[in-house]
A and B are shown apart, each in its own frame.
Chain A
Amino acid sequence: MSTSALDGAPSLTLDEEREVEQQYEERADHLELAAFPSRTALTNDAEEWIRSLTGSGAKLLVGPRGCGKTHLMRFAFTQCIANPDLPLAVYINLNRYYTLEPLLRRRPEAMSMFYVWVLANVMVGCHESIGAFKAQGLDLEIDIDALLEFNETELRDLIGAYEKNQPLSAELDEVASRLTIDRVKQLLLRSSDTLGRRRIVLLLDDAALTLTPEYLSHFFDIYRALKSARIAPKASVYPGTTEYGPNFHAGHEADTIFVWKRVTDQDYLPFMLDIGAKRFPDMFSVPEDIRELLAYCAFGVPRAFMTLVRSYLKNAKRHGTAQSAFNVTIDEFLDDRVREYLTLKDKKPQFSSIVSVGKQLLDKMVEAVYEANQLLLESTTRQLYIGIDASGINDKPYVQRMLLLLQEAGMVYAVSGVSHGDRDYVRLVPHLAAVQARRAFAKKGGFSARFAVEMLSRPDEKHPVRRSMSTLLDSPTLEALCLDLPNCLSCQTKRVEGAKYCFNCGEKLTDESTYDRLMLTRLADVPGLTPWQREKLSSSDTLPQTVGEFIALQDPGTTLRTIHRVGQVRAKTIIGAVQAFLDEYLS
Chain B
Amino acid sequence: MSLLETITPFPAPTATKLDTAKWFDATHVPIVESPIDEFRRNLAEINKLYLQAEQRSDYVPMLGSLVYLGMVSAAEGYFRSLLRRLIRQDTACEANAATRTVTYGAAIHHEPALLPESLFEGVSLASAKNVFSELRSLCGIQVPDSLQQLFQNFEAISQVRHCGIHRFGKLGSQQALRLGIDLHKPLLEKPLALQVKQLQEIADALQALIHAVNSLCFFEILKRTHMAGPTGREKEKLYQEAWQQDWEADKVRFTMYYDIFASTSKPDPSAPVKDVYDAFMAFVNNYDLAPKKSKAAVSPAAPVNTA
A contact set with B: CB distance below 8 Å = 24, 96, 99, 106-109, 111-113, 116, 156-161, 163-164, 166-173, 176-177, 488-490, 498-508, 510, 551, 553-557, 572, 575-576, 578-579, 582
Q: Known contacts A107-B212, A112-B146, A582-B303; is A501 also within 8 Å of B51 by CB? A: yes
A30 to nearest B CB, angstroms?
Answer: 9
Q: Return chain A residues, CB-CB under 8 Å to B109.
A: none
Q: Contact check, B293 vs A108: say whether CB atoms are below 8 A apart.
A: no
Q: Give bound CA distance, A488 to B144, whole Å.
A: 32
* Partner pick for A582 among B208, B300, B304, CB 8 A cutoff: B304
Question: Which one of B45, B303, B305 has the greatest number of beta carbons of chain A within 10 Å?
Answer: B303
How long is the Cα–Cα vector from A555 to B306 in the complex, in angstroms? 8
Q: Which of A158, A159, A555, A576 is within 8 Å of B307, CB to CB?
A: A555
Q: Tell whether B295 is near chain A: CB-to-CB under 8 Å.
A: yes
Q: Are A510 and B297 neighbours in the complex by a CB distance under 8 Å?
A: no
Given the known A-B contacts A169-B296, A501-B203, A507-B265, are A108 and B209 also in contact in the complex, defined by CB atoms under 8 Å? Answer: yes
Tell me if B250 is interfacial: C-beta within 8 Å of chain A: no
Say whether, besides A171-B295, A490-B266, A176 and B304 are in contact (CB < 8 Å). Answer: no
Most B CB contacts (10 A, CB to CB) among A505, A506, A553 go to A506
Closest 6 CB pairs of A and B: A506-B44, A506-B47, A108-B208, A503-B51, A161-B297, A489-B267
Q: Which interface residue of A109, A113, A575 has the most chain B CB atoms within 10 A?
A: A109
A-B contact pairs, 29 of them (CB 8 A): A107-B212, A156-B300, A157-B295, A158-B297, A160-B299, A161-B297, A163-B300, A163-B301, A166-B296, A166-B297, A167-B219, A167-B296, A168-B296, A171-B293, A172-B297, A489-B268, A498-B197, A500-B203, A501-B47, A501-B203, A506-B47, A507-B40, A507-B44, A507-B47, A507-B265, A554-B305, A555-B307, A557-B305, A575-B306
- Tell me the complex Cα distance, A107–B200, Å: 18
Is B18 positioned at the interface, with any CB of A under 8 Å from its CB?
no
CB-CB < 8 A to A498: which residues of B?
A: 197
B positions within 8 Å CB-CB of A: 40, 43-48, 51-52, 54-55, 144-150, 197, 200-201, 203-204, 207-209, 211-212, 215, 219, 265-268, 293-301, 303-307
CB of A177 within 8 A of CB of B45, answer no
Task: Tell me whether A505 and B145 are in contact (CB under 8 A).
Answer: no
B301 to A164, Cβ gap below 8 A?
yes
Closest residue of chain B to A558 (Cβ to Cβ) is B307
Which residues of B have CB within 8 Å of A156? 299-300
Contacts of B52 in A (CB 8 A): 503
Residue in chain B with minimal CB distance to A509: B267
Q: Which A residues lie within 8 Å of B47 (CB)? A: 501-503, 506-507
A160 touches B266 (CB 8 A): no
Chain B contacts of A575 at CB under 8 A? 304-306
| Contact between chains at B303 and A556 (CB < 8 Å) | no
Can you add 18 more A-B contacts, CB < 8 Å, to A112-B148, A157-B299, A500-B201?
A107-B215, A108-B207, A109-B146, A157-B300, A160-B299, A163-B300, A163-B301, A171-B295, A490-B267, A499-B51, A499-B200, A500-B200, A503-B48, A503-B51, A507-B267, A557-B305, A578-B304, A582-B303
- A553 and B207 alpha carbons, distance in the complex (Å): 36
